[in-house]
Structure 1
Amino acid sequence: MSDRIRHLTLSHVVLPLDNPVSDAKVLTGRQKPLTETVLLFVEVLTEQGLTGMGFSYSKRAGGKAQYAHLAEIAEVAIGQDPSDIDRIYQSLLWAGASVGRSGVASQAIAALDVALWDLKARRADLPLAKLIGAQRDSCRVYNTSGGFLQASVEEMKEKASASLDSGIGGIKIKVGQPDWKKDLERVTAMREHLGETPLMVDANQQWDRARARRMCRELEKFDLIWIEEPLDAWDAVGHADLSHVFDTPIATGEMLTSVPEHMALIDAGYRGIVQPDAPRIGGITPFLRFATLAAHAGLALAPHYAMEIHLHLAATYPTEPWVEHFEWLNPLFNERIDIHDGRMWLAERPGLGFTLSDQMRARTVETASFGKP
């Protein structure tokens, strides 16, 4: 029997970090240190009393814009069948098409799209990965939050050891500093500290093509799992060229905000690792669309951030992926993900498997409601 979306609640949430962090974009003067994550939560209620929860996020800027955009178009979803997720997605996309179909527009819609997938899986009483069709019950997991550039080498080592002791299987650290020799010193220190533990590096788009080639050549000897965002995120051709030249895999994609932007990598002949981010690409619906194309192209997958969503999506990918661990969003949820033996494990809870905490409510600075409660 068909159902209808009866009510939507949007919540604008600001979550401060315990300590500011800096990547290469800060050291090159392009951004300020990151001090908070701003999130857009959507809660869905249907005529039959079913519920779903989803979120998107922004860092440094854009959170208010995401909230404002969805608040302007959310009414379009009221009365629609929540099972028709792609139909709802397209109606929202076209409702705000005058500002584009990527960027803030798609990121705003993502929160509702995720909530509808959560609802659909809850209705089936299945974890989201099982609803879609899981290939595995756990995924390899690596931690990034301890590897930012404001941390000293000793601090970085301590955090890496703590992550490994907690059951995490790999460590990623930031590079891309103006003085490239400092990058090599930090990578050398971490490789010596970690031994054969999987290690990744992330330049956060701060090299030009010439510097990227030189750095990728220098980094080959460290047996890295990947070198992430060596170039500007939109330089599909440059990333594709690097992926053909070096043995160390190249990874990119986290900053792209639509399926066409990601497809530019495949069209350019990219052979590296793709890192789509469901809240950024526009939600689970476009994420799955691109994942199908990426799998067809034989690309490896390592989704960016938002492990609460990406564990489920990574578990459905045909080849073994990596999932990124960030503990930053933990205060917003009552549940925790099980991590041990270097892997992140799916829970048996239906949907995404999370309920919103009192801290999430306390951090909410603005709400909007649509339809009948």
Structure 2
Amino acid sequence: MSNTFIDQTSATETSEANERHLAGLAAGEASTDRISSVQLSLAKLPLAGPVSDAKVLTGRQKPLTEIAFLFAEITTEAGCSGIGYSYSKRAGGPGQYAHAVEIAPDVIGEDPSDIGRIWTKLVWAGASVGRSGMSTQAIAAIDIALWDLKAKRADLPLAKLLGAYRDAVPCYNTSGGFLSTSIDEVVDNSRASIERGIGGIKIKVGQPDTRIDLKRVDTVRSELGDDFPLMVDANQQWNRSAAIRAGRALEEFNLTWLEEPLDAYDAEGHAALAAELATPIATGEMLTSVSEHRELIRARSVDFMQPDAPRVGGITPFLKIMALGEQAGIRMAPHFAMEIHLHLSAAYEIDPWVEHFEWLEPLFNERLTIADGRMIVPNRPGLGISLSEQARAWTVESAGFGSGF
């Protein structure tokens, strides 16, 4: 009898505990608003022409001709709204969109300020496909939209909401220096970037014949002068011995950094290069989780870490990577997505860079201001962006959840 009574009590307590746990997943008494709708869209941005880097020259990828964007637009019962995006190059865009469609209904009714809890809830909703990669890149669009919404509600630029160290961030251009671009065009593009106010130039390397790389770098360095910031990017196409040889040959050009000389997951190899070469090492853009960046930082593999908010799962995990980098004293130069990364770089303590790509400008109604080598944090609330009619025209799929759909 007593055993039966104890079992019944235990079952009741378990049931009550489960109810309390489930209640904790809903917006609570402290909530002042709830998410009422989520709209997702998949848009494909065509590039002006095919673009190639070293991955194309080695036969591992085809030239890049378009970029797929997953947009999330979130609205609350109080009428607040936020927008976020993720992206994929060559493949993966439809997969991100499909996963986002599966999990987006789970945010309806949530308090939009509970961003960390919502991120975790969405990760567990798709836990069977992992906690990094495509699954969290789908979450990224929603997570970024929530941070945009939160900053808009505070009537602050996102950088100011996070706590900015600066109102403008040194910026460098990448889009003018691909291997599919002739060296004369690279020089012309570099001049145009500098005239626009950009403070650094990055060009691609990784030719099968390193002598071609050295000639291109020498030409651009001669054009820029000895002290103007110049970066090079090998896009992971060297092995360790080739990277050492190329890295030593490149040292005479006073580079700001040598980017992705090795496979993105070779933390040990990057650490050896960082210890061997005078040129700083930069990498990290291909990593898709906090844990992968933690290993890169732990191994002292980088002088410049290059996380990408849409790739790591949004701003919520990106902030964790920032904290790790600051603790280790590592500089940061986030990859791509300047509309997002400008705000995050402004809130990073240790002298960052932000990457300039004009490719995304047609997607938004607003433009970022560049002057004196720096990209200026806009005074618009949130990320300070809104989708253009062109972005709507490039949309190939869309889905809505919650009220109004």
The verdict on a shared fold, with TM-score over 0.5 as the criterion, is yes
- Residue 19 of structure 1, CA deviation: 1.2
Distance in 2, Cα, partners of 1:146 & 1:124: 37
Identity rate, percent? 64
**1:107 has 2:144 as partner:** no
Q: Is the 8 A contact 2:281 2:301 kept in 1?
A: no
- Return closer, same or farther for 1:314/1:192 CA change in 2, 3 Å cut-off: same
**1:182 has 2:212 as partner:** yes
Kindly provide the CA deviation profile for residues 316-369 of structure 1, in whole angstroms up to 9, marking residues without a partner as x: 000111100000010010000000100000111000001111001101111011
**1:344 has 2:344 as partner:** no
Matches within 5 A, 1:23-42: 23-42=53-72
- Residue 264 of structure 1, CA deviation: 1.1
Residue ranges of structure 1 left out of the alignment (5+ in a row):
none
Q: Is the 8 A contact 1:168 1:340 kept in 2?
A: yes
**Could you say which residue in structure 2 is the equivalent of 1:142?**
172
2:112 to 57, 82, 91: 82
**Could you say which residue in structure 1 is the equivalent of 2:26?**
none
Following TM superposition, the consecutive aligned residue runs of length 4 or more in structure 1 with deviations greater than 2 angstroms are none
**1:210 has 2:264 as partner:** no
1:318 to 324, 349, 360: 349
Give the match's secondary structure for 2:359. coil
Distance in 1, Cα, partners of 2:300 & 2:349: 20
- Residue 305 of structure 1, CA deviation: 0.3
**Could you say which residue in structure 1 is the equivalent of 2:365?**
334
Partner letter of residue 174 of structure 1?
K
- Residue 146 of structure 1, CA deviation: 0.4
Partner letter of residue 245 of structure 1?
E
What is the CA RMSD across the aligned residues, in angstroms? 0.7
Distance in 2, Cα, partners of 1:152 & 1:362: 32
**Could you say which residue in structure 2 is the equivalent of 1:267?**
298
Matches within 5 A, 1:185-334: 185-195=215-225, 196-334=227-365
- Residue 292 of structure 1, CA deviation: 0.4
- Residue 269 of structure 1, CA deviation: 2.6
Partner letter of residue 123 of structure 1?
R
Q: Is the 8 A contact 2:205 2:232 kept in 1?
A: yes
Partner letter of residue 341 of structure 1?
D
Q: Is the 8 A contact 1:57 1:279 kept in 2?
A: yes
Distance in 2, Cα, partners of 1:19 & 1:211: 30
Matches within 5 A, 1:5-44: 5-44=35-74
Give the match's secondary structure for 2:202. strand
2:192 to 145, 149, 162: 162
- Residue 246 of structure 1, CA deviation: 1.3
**1:366 has 2:376 as partner:** no
Q: Is the 8 A contact 1:240 1:272 kept in 2?
A: no
Give the match's secondary structure for 1:41. strand
Matches within 5 A, 1:93-132: 93-132=123-162
- Residue 243 of structure 1, CA deviation: 1.1
**Could you say which residue in structure 1 is the equivalent of 2:77?**
47
- Residue 271 of structure 1, CA deviation: 4.3
- Residue 158 of structure 1, CA deviation: 0.3
Partner letter of residue 165 of structure 1?
E
Distance in 2, Cα, partners of 1:243 & 1:81: 44
Distance in 1, Cα, partners of 2:301 & 2:46: 36
**1:153 has 2:183 as partner:** yes
Q: Is the 8 A contact 1:244 1:271 kept in 2?
A: no
> Could you state the TM-score of these two structures normalised by the residue count of structure 1?
0.99
- Equivalenced residue count is 373
Q: Is the 8 A contact 2:282 2:302 kept in 1?
A: no
**Structure number with bigger Rg:** 2
Kindly provide the CA deviation profile for residues 192-224 of structure 1, in whole angstroms up to 9, marking residues without a partner as x: 111132100000000000101111111111000
Distance in 1, Cα, partners of 2:272 & 2:384: 40
Give the match's secondary structure for 1:254. coil
**Could you say which residue in structure 1 is the equivalent of 2:99?**
69
- Residue 267 of structure 1, CA deviation: 2.2
Q: Which moved more, 1:259-268 or 1:295-304?
A: 259-268
> Could you state the TM-score of these two structures normalised by the residue count of structure 2?
0.91
Partner letter of residue 108 of structure 2?
I
**Could you say which residue in structure 1 is the equivalent of 2:3?**
none
Q: Is the 8 A contact 1:11 1:42 kept in 2?
A: yes
Distance in 1, Cα, partners of 2:207 & 2:237: 8
Kindly provide the CA deviation profile for residues 246-295 of structure 1, in whole angstroms up to 9, marking residues without a partner as x: 11100000000000111111222324110000000110000001100111
Distance in 2, Cα, partners of 1:314 & 1:210: 33
Distance in 2, Cα, partners of 1:163 & 1:179: 28
- Residue 22 of structure 1, CA deviation: 0.3
Kindly provide the CA deviation profile for residues 120-144 of structure 1, in whole angstroms up to 9, marking residues without a partner as x: 0000000000000000000000000
